[in-house]
Structure 1
């Protein structure tokens, strides 16, 4: 089916994606996902119309055709969340075409994304976060590896980093400075303050680590000296959360969620938390507002005298 897409359209998609990667800093995985989404939409349109050519399918797309495409995607098993992402990619491509060719793409932009239930973050409460760090220390047989695991989890919680960001730290980052410059998703950079607890945990690990922490090498090392695997951190946390009787949602990413939720609960500004987390959109950070509201409602229902 891929052969029905005209060379002009293929070239347009390629140039649009190049712009996303070069100008907007889109991650390679995002670029590939958008490529598949937009090409799938164009394949549907051209097959639906019997093989139209050129940029016509974009310029002439009607709202009923958009609805037909979305129904087709749902019919082949695409979930609402994935379809919403595909529609976002299609709209982005259509806007790009409209800016360059002067086409009216109102029908495409008018298509409404399917509703889906957003999964709210599952943070730990403050006591559980502290207990997790303490229990992680008991998992490794070697003292230096136990100190390493504590350092990694403390950095996740104390700085709000993704596991990939924590494991991207290099030897030159030791000792941790007052602030870290982190390159996150989409190549976006942010400056993250470093708490004394995170700095102390990394210093304790570095002092015990048997491997030379050269400036360009990974800061966090595996037993044999290579880069520490994310899966090892996940496994250590799995063991710790089972010992503590915590749910399966307690993952390395949950420590990042906990960082944000606890800041918000202490009165942190949502925009500032967005910057600390490196979210491109405030709507992503607003998920933590719902979490905090849920916690407040639990307190209300348990403590209000008229309950």
Structure 2
């Protein structure tokens, strides 16, 4: 079970130079608890929001010359938030990070108002940074096949078998790397298990079909893994027997990029993008892809229509009566 984010008063979560008043410290911990238990925010989101707010309060404490309290937040003006974002920009923060920071602050101040602790809507007057539009960068079908078949099956050692199984889960089932590495042995997609129940972001569950090639790869890894795979423990293990780190799979992809001449965009997450794009190219329905990926909103999935624009134009040319 993932551990809860450290409190704002915890020395591991808060820099020593950031003292907070008791009332603000209590309010921030209550806000994090609200996000976790009532909004079902993901652990990574909680960590990012806690870090963003901590940075803002550090900036504010330096500006004020004393530990910030709730009364200080109630008196803040729009220019203070803009000055903070400008200072982050000068230290190299990108628009996407600044937009997330602003989102965290807006949510905090809305919650403080809802709880009748303070009311200050100055942060709502700050415009969000413009984020450059980007689309996923999937691999081609042939390049993706090169990645998941990079090793000679009969001669795989257990680490190569493990990496092959993980990469197949990313490309063949569209899992996020955290979802694949979060699998327990009892959930292993091997044998006759044709469907896997995956818990994704925000605790959202979905059913994902498991192709025979995925089940065979996982079974091969489990057969030759030198460590006992207990039902309630991590399915994928590191070289020393502990749970496999995402960084190890990222390094495996780096080696494959060098060996296969793949572009820098060929990351583990690009395999998930490739899964979605190749399904769309083969005629899969966008709603079906949304369910398989675990997207809460169809608008998130629709970005793949931009990646597959050539196929859509070809369908239009072939089907439209005036083409």
TM over 0.5: yes
Give the TM-score, by structure 2 length: 0.75
Compared CA separation, residues 246 and 140, structure 1 to 2 (3 A): farther
Quick one: structure 1 residues 214 and 147, their matched pair in 2 at CA, closer, same or farther if it must change by over 3 Å? same
Structure 1 unaligned spans of 5+: 301-307
Residue 9 of structure 1: SS of its match in structure 2?
helix
Change (3 A) 1:140 1:63: farther
Structure-to-structure mapping, 1:1-307, within 5 angstroms = 2-3=18-19, 5-45=20-60, 48=63, 55-101=70-116, 105-135=120-150, 137-138=151-152, 142-174=156-188, 175=190, 177-209=193-225, 211-222=227-238, 226-280=242-296, 282-293=298-309
How far apart, CA to CA, are the structure 2 residues paired with 1:49 and 1:218? Answer: 48
Structure 2 alignment gaps of length 5 or more = 1-16, 317-323
Q: Deviations over 1:75-115 (max 9, x none)?
A: 34432222111100000001101212186544322321111
The equivalent of 1:303 in structure 2 is none
**Structure 1 range deviating more: 158-167 or 35-44:** 35-44
Give the 3-state SS of the residue equivalent to 1:24 in structure 2.
coil
Equivalenced residue count is 298
2-structure distance, mates of 1:26, 1:60? 29
Measure how far apart 1:59 and its partner are. 3.9
Paired with 1:274 and 1:27, the residues of 2 have a C-alpha distance of 19
How far the C-alpha of 1:277 sits from its partner, in A, is: 2.4
- Distance change >3 Å, CA 89–CA 32, structure 1 → 2: same
What is the CA-CA distance between 1:140 and the residue it aligns to? 9.8
Instruction: Provide, for residues 49-68 of structure 1, a one-character-per-residue CA deviation record: whole Å limited to 9, x for no partner.
Output: 67697534444444344333
Structure that is richer in helix per residue: 1
**CA shift digits 1:198-238 (9 cap, x unpaired):** 22332344445455443234333456655444444334433
Kindly indicate whether the alpha-carbon contact (under 8 Å) linking 2:112 and 2:119 is maintained by their aligned counterparts in 1: no
Hey, what's the Cα distance between the residues in 2 that align with 1:97 and 1:22?
17
Q: Aligned to 1:200, what secondary structure does the other structure show?
A: helix
Match of 2:101, SS state, is helix
For normalisation by structure 1, the TM-score amounts to 0.79
Query: What SS does the corresponding residue of 2:149 show, helix, strand or coil?
Result: helix
| 2:4 alignment partner in structure 1 | none
